[in-house]
């Protein structure tokens, strides 16, 4: 049995020490199982995983690669079962194919990669006596969406000339989704998925707008443009304008066509999380994960309908097409001279200040209106980064996941790192991004004015400055630093039922492995941060879900270490030595059957 340590409720476990073990390490008294791995068959007819003879047809019926965001949804009428929805962000060909020649990929390898991208939905069954989850293969809700599945573009930019291609004269249909990083779930039963680093799939770009999105001028790394000309910007200039959106997916309807919601703007969407206004309209927070880029919110103008009728469901699938898109501007309340980039707190004792949500454009049923001088509404929704530039939004240290607390309404923004902060020619430290050469990242806490989700102004403070607590530049909401775990590079965030914030990391710059942490956000233990688990070699922690009796994490890119390959693996996880490394989802529970951390 677990001896509950004295700690905030929900965080009463023995913190896992930083380590470099090639495994998922959990606290004493906790157990784990691998729920599903890359290649596990989920659709009817899909074959067992055979990495030496993988085919695109097999992959299209199997769980995809590099699981990131996870959602776990109830299934009405099916006891002890939940629907797991996962993002498959990107492929790591050198770890997938024996003898992979990066200069000359084969068509079959490229098509396997297309089929390994996208989304997956799979029903999982709960063990009655533990937190263990197992896959229900061939369930009718199991689904794969890939880089070639049909999508609809909806909202104010749909049908625009900026989105038309030779294959789609309507500007409303697109094949596939790419680089889905984190996401969110909506109160109306759908999931949201951020298309993040879509730039890497496109070749031969050159326009200023392409540059602002990081689309390269030469060949792409995966050379997909050799196998489908839509990835060649020189031949198909608008195809890249059809990626970089928030995808909405209805996992309860196995025939649904997923939608790309242009009203939420186009950039490297990390995630998209929802809070409702008091009159029932959705507000979606979403960040753009790039050094010196922005974070945004969309305020919907239509009210959600309750109930599960067909009319209600169809209505709710239009909620994210009408409303106003805003970008954040933050102003510190301490003199700039007190922000020296060292992380030393200013004289008022806090990195904090006020902020405004600057409107960029509004989409209505009758059309869209731009609020940015010199840009049409369509341009704002397709070249959203340029709109943020024009209105002087605040350049942040890589906004990753952003999530409102279901208990308090406060919004937490994970800023993963930015080693260019303060470099010659780059922005210097400011009160919201207070460290030069920010290697370890930080987390902001926002309070909307009057705690109204649709407010146009807010207060903010830096909740946590990550790093080794022995480093004077770190800050844990004022909690004593000799009683917290070291943390570096916060990425995904989630809440438990107690109101604690859970943080997964990507790229630990302290020399140990990434992991999952819980931190109290209220009471006299606010800022108490404890490590709950650590990752295998080379892996990033993703998709945390913290239920009362179970923690779920996505182990993304295990074995992704410079120089590693199928022949020279850097990890033996999860199947052991001699087996190919596989990204996978892991469930963790308490051996004595009690709730997590109580
Ligand atoms: Fe895919 Fe920003 O992490
Ligand atoms: Ca201050
Ligand atoms: Ca991420
Ligand atoms: Ca990341």
Residue burial 379-412, b: 16+ Cβ < 10 Å; e: rest:
bbbbbbbbbbbbbebbbbbbbbbbbbbeeeebbb
Q: Indicate whether 94 pLDDT > 70.
A: yes
- What is the 592 CA–ligand 3 centroid distance (Å)? 32
Does ligand 1 have an atom closer than 6 angstroms to the CB of 400?
A: yes
Does ligand 1 have an atom closer than 6 angstroms to the CB of 270?
A: yes
For the CA of 268, the nearest atom of ligand 1: 2
Residue burial 237-253, b: 16+ Cβ < 10 Å; e: rest:
bbbbbbbbbbbbbbbbe
Burial class (CB in 10 A: 0-12, 13-18, 19+), 349: exposed
Q: Indicate whether 329 pLDDT > 50.
A: yes
**14 within a domain of the structure (yes/no):** no
**2 within a domain of the structure (yes/no):** no
**Distance in angstroms (rounded) separating the CA atoms of residues 108 and 110:** 5
**3 within a domain of the structure (yes/no):** no
Tell me the percentage of the chain whose pLDDT exceeds 70. 99
Question: Using DSSP, how many helices (H) and how many strands (E) does the chain show?
Answer: 7, 32
**Distance in angstroms (rounded) separating the CA atoms of residues 99 and 576:** 21
- What is the 332 CA–ligand 2 centroid distance (Å)? 6
With a CB cutoff of 8 Å and minimum separation 6, the contacts of 296 are: 264, 265, 267, 285, 286, 287, 288, 325, 326, 327, 328, 384, 388
**85 within a domain of the structure (yes/no):** yes
**7 within a domain of the structure (yes/no):** no
**597 within a domain of the structure (yes/no):** no
Q: Which ligand is nearest to the CA of 268?
A: 1
Going by pLDDT thresholds of 50, 70 and 90, the confidence category of residue 232 is very high
**13 within a domain of the structure (yes/no):** no
Residue of 289, 195, 282 whose CA lies nearest to 245 = 195
- pLDDT, tens only, 520-560: 999 999 999 999 999 999 999 999 999 999 999 999 999 99
Going by pLDDT thresholds of 50, 70 and 90, the confidence category of residue 6 is confident
Average pLDDT over residues 88-116: 98
Instruction: Dihedral sign for Cα 472, 477, 483, 489, please.
Output: negative
**Distance in angstroms (rounded) separating the CA atoms of residues 66 and 484:** 30
Q: Indicate whether 2 pLDDT > 60.
A: no
- pLDDT, tens only, 157-166: 999 999 999 9
Domain that holds residue 365: 30-590
**9 within a domain of the structure (yes/no):** no
- pLDDT, tens only, 435-444: 999 999 999 9
Q: Indicate whether 358 pLDDT > 50.
A: yes
pLDDT at 1: 40
Q: Do residues 518 and 501 touch, judged by C-beta distance below 8 A?
A: yes
Average pLDDT over residues 337-342: 96
Going by pLDDT thresholds of 50, 70 and 90, the confidence category of residue 150 is very high
Does ligand 1 have an atom closer than 6 angstroms to the CB of 288?
A: no
Output the DSSP codes for 518-552.
EE--SGGGTT-EEEEEE--TT-EEEEEEE-SS-EE
pLDDT at 448: 98
Q: Indicate whether 576 pLDDT > 80.
A: yes
pLDDT at 108: 98
Does ligand 1 have an atom closer than 6 angstroms to the CB of 181?
A: yes
- What is the 101 CA–ligand 4 centroid distance (Å)? 26
- What is the 346 CA–ligand 2 centroid distance (Å)? 6
pLDDT at 5: 57
Total tally of structural domains belonging to the chain? 1
Does ligand 1 have an atom closer than 6 angstroms to the CB of 401?
A: no
Q: Indicate whether 382 pLDDT > 90.
A: yes
Q: Indicate whether 49 pLDDT > 70.
A: yes
Task: Give pTM, 2 decimals.
Answer: 0.98
Residue of 375, 384, 113 whose CA lies nearest to 241 = 384
Mean pLDDT value across the chain: 97
Does ligand 1 have an atom closer than 6 angstroms to the CB of 289?
A: yes
| Angle (CA) 248 42 101, round 5° | 85
């Amino acid at each position: 049995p677990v001896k509950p340590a004295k700690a905030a409720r929900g965080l009463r476990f023995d913190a896992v020490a930083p380590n470099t073990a090639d495994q998922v390490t959990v606290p004493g008294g906790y157990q784990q199982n691998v729920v599903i791995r890359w290649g596990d068959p989920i659709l009817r007819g899909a074959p067992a995983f055979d990495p030496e003879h993988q085919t695109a047809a097999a992959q299209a019926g199997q769980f995809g690669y590099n699981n990131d965001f996870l959602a776990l949804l109830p299934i009405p009428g099916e006891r002890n079962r939940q629907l797991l929805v996962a993002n498959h962000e990107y492929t790591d060909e050198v770890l997938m194919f024996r003898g992979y020649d990066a200069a000359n990929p084969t068509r079959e390898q490229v098509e396997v990669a297309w089929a390994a991208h996208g989304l997956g939905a799979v029903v999982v069954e709960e063990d009655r006596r533990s937190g263990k989850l197992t896959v229900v293969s061939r369930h009718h809700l199991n689904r794969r969406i890939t880089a070639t599945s049909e999508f609809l573009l909806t909202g104010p930019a749909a049908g625009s000339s900026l989105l038309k291609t030779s294959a789609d004269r309507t500007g409303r249909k697109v094949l596939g989704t790419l680089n889905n990083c984190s996401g969110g779930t909506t109160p109306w039963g759908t999931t949201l998925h951020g298309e993040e680093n879509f730039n890497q799939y496109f070749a031969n770009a050159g326009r200023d707008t392409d540059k602002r999105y990081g689309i390269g001028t030469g060949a792409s790394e995966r050379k997909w443009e050799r196998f489908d000309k839509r990835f060649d910007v020189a031949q198909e200039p608008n195809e890249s304008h059809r990626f970089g959106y928030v995808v909405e997916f209805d996992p309860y309807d196995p025939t649904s066509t997923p939608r790309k919601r242009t009203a939420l703007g186009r950039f490297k969407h990390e995630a998209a999380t929802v809070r409702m206004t008091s009159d029932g309209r959705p507000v979606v927070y979403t960040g753009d994960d790039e050094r010196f880029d922005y974070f945004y919110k969309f305020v919907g103008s239509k009210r959600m309908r309750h109930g599960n009728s067909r009319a209600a469901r169809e209505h709710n699938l239009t909620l994210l097409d009408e409303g106003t898109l805003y970008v954040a501007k933050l102003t510190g309340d301490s003199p700039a001279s007190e922000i020296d980039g060292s992380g030393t707190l200013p004289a008022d004792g806090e990195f904090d200040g006020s902020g405004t949500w600057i409107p960029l454009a509004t989409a209505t049923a009758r059309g869209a209106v731009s609020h940015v001088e010199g840009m049409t509404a369509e341009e704002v929704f397709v070249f959203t980064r340029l709109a943020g530039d024009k209105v002087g939004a605040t350049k942040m240290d890589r906004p990753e996941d952003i999530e409102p607390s279901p208990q308090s309404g406060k919004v937490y923004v994970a800023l993963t790192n930015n080693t260019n902060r303060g470099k010659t020619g780059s922005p210097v430290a400011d009160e919201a991004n207070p460290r030069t050469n920010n290697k370890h990242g930080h987390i902001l806490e926002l309070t909307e004015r009057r705690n109204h989700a649709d407010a146009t102004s807010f207060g903010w403070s830096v909740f946590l400055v990550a790093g080794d607590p022995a480093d004077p530049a770190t800050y844990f909401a004022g909690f004593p630093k000799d009683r917290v775990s070291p943390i570096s590079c916060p990425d995904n965030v989630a809440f438990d039922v107690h109101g604690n914030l859970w943080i997964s990391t990507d790229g630990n710059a302290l020399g140990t492995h990434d992991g999952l942490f819980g931190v109290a956000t209220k009471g006299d233990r606010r800022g108490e941060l404890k490590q709950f688990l650590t990752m295998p070699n080379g892996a990033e922690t993703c998709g945390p879900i913290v239920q009362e009796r179970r923690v779920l994490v996505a182990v993304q890119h295990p074995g992704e270490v410079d120089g590693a390959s199928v022949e020279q693996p850097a990890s033996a996880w999860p199947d052991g030595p001699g087996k190919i490394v596989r990204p996978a989802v892991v469930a963790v529970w308490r051996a004595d059957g009690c709730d997590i951390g109580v």
